Amino acid sequence: MTEKEIKSLINSEINKFKADNLDKEIAKIMHDNSKTRKEMIDSIGDAFDSVFRTLWQKKGFWSTSIK
């Protein structure tokens, strides 16, 4: 087998896994009340908070510049 054929085989296996089993595996890891689930929810909340604060600061900058 050539390097290109090996890469193609590996990519097809990864794509098959993503299509078939990835959601199931993540669901197992993220079961209700798990530590990982809580950390993920906290991280997402922090990210939304950060984005909101940044946009709020930019809103203030643009509103003062326009007037």
Residues 54-67: tens digit of each pLDDT: 888 887 777 666 65
Q: Which pLDDT belongs to residue 25?
A: 82
Give the global pTM: 0.47
Inter-helix orientation angle 3-20/22-29, to 10°: 60
Measured between alpha carbons, how far apart are the two ends of the chain, in Å?
67
